[in-house]
Amino acid sequence: MGGNSRPGTPGGQKVETTVTNVSDPSQLSIGCKAFFEKDNEIRQAEVLSIRDKAMRNNIQRTAEDAPLDASNSKIEYEFYVHYVEFNKRLDEWVSESRARLDKPVAFPKKKNKATHGGSQQAAREKRRKTNTGGSVATGTAPQTPDTIRHDDSVYTAPQKNISKEKEIEKLRTGGSMAQSTSEVARMKNLNVIEMGQYQVEPWYFSPYPLEYAHTPILYICEFCLCFYANKTQYTRHRVKCTLQHPPGNEIYRKDDISFFEIDGRRQKTYCRNLCLLSKCFLDHKTLYYDVDPFLFYIMTRRDERGCHIIGYFSKEKESSDNFNLACILTLPQYQRMGYGRVLMQFSYELSKAEGKVGSPEKPLSDLGLLSYRTYWSEVLVDMLVGFDGEISIDELSHMTSFTIQDIMHALFSLDAIRYYHGQHCIVLSERVMEAYERFKKKNHRKIDSSCLKWVPKN
């Protein structure tokens, strides 16, 4: 969740291009922008990687490389493309038959080598001076297969003179992780995930071990979240796996919905596997395998076979900013069913039980802000419509466990704040009331606070 800078163009900076026509797919190179067919439309896309379809070997080429030898007519190329002005989740491998070579192709301009060398020397000098001053230049984040942690903050490169222990301590006390530009630019490494009766196509890159990447199907046990590269191993595991629910304490149950609380320090393997899975569907997340500072709340749906994971949210055990949620995800097979709203509501029920106000970690992505703004607005309007008399923002905050800032943000988004006779008042417009009536007609899932069996830990 966050801004979308284009892969291959760090920071979203513009690259000078040369537009020309090509007659053969082998003339396309990494970094060029060509047109491809997608859903009966013709869309411009940036080529991020090229491979031989038969051998599935990546052919890493740049704009400076000479065109591939097209004399071998048996070679059929596949291109990993990012559709311009579309979300990264649509990135995919396409066959050369979908390339529209009747349209011009934009190639990155080749840099003047003399100028380029000079600029490199200048950049090195600048980095040397900057490093002497105590800060560092942005670089590739270390790929340490020891953590998993994520958030929506702005990326800050780790300082080279800070030890891993100090960095983790800073992360423990300073909120979740920041987005890493090196992760954003990476290609999807999984084709299909199978969980129980569902097969899901991942949206983004997730750092599963290399031996599991690029397999036709990655099999994941929906109870313990262990993953396997082939069906035989997975079937053998399912015979031996005794789990029928997440390995934590069940703190809520009503109808077929249950919530389990899991301590990241006690169930490291499960929580790390959960974070690997969630990274397939959450973009702009830096992963750390230090799950100790987190509690994970897993929402499940029960049937005769067990409790099947629907989604989850995580929160820090100790947050100096009173954040009640660090990361939230509803698995794709359960999206658009109202479960995301239930997860948000449950996070505030926990805040009410603690006697605190809470808020999700900031900054929120565009999609996250939209979801939370909608939830805040619906709760506030529902409360105000049935209220007779005067009420202050502080009282609303106490009744909902929303922060004052979040309440004001929601009210301003509804254009409900008015200045009348020397004081501010809340006015619900006709448009807001019409939206409220539509909301009331829907059968929304709700958390029953009487079914919550949970005591805050001191």
- Compute CA distances 81 → 27, 29, 32, 37, 266, whole Å: 15, 11, 10, 11, 41
- Compute CA distances 85 → 12, 13, 20, 436, whole Å: 12, 14, 21, 33
Cβ–Cβ < 8 Å for 107, 18: yes
Q: Which residue's structure tokens are 């479960």?
A: 339
361, 395, 434, 437: the active-site residue: 361
Between helix 339-354 and helix 366-385 the angle, nearest 10°, is 70
Q: DSSP secondary-structure letter at 67?
A: P
Q: Is 165 a catalytic residue?
A: no
Q: Which residue's structure tokens are 């800073």?
A: 170
Q: Which residues contact 188 (CB under 8 A, 6 or more apart)?
A: 91, 92, 202, 203, 204, 205
287: number of CA atoms within 13 Å, CB side? Answer: 26
Among 10, 11, 192, which residue's Cα sits nearest to residue 92?
192
Cβ–Cβ < 8 Å for 164, 148: no
CA angle, 320 as apex, 316 and 324 as ends, to 5°? 45
What's the rounded Cα separation, in Å, for the pair 290 and 270? 13
Helix (H, G, I), strand (E, B) or coil at 154: coil
Positive or negative torsion for Cα 263, 265, 270, 271 = positive
Q: What are phi and psi of 21, to 5 degrees?
A: -105, 145
Task: Identify the bridge partners of residue 420 per DSSP, sorted by sequence position.
Answer: 423
What's the rounded Cα separation, in Å, for the pair 81 and 84? 9
Question: Which pairing describes strands 77-83 and 92-95: parallel, antiparallel, or unpaired?
Answer: antiparallel
Task: Identify the bridge partners of residue 124 per DSSP, sorted by sequence position.
Answer: none
Mind telling me the catalytic residues?
361
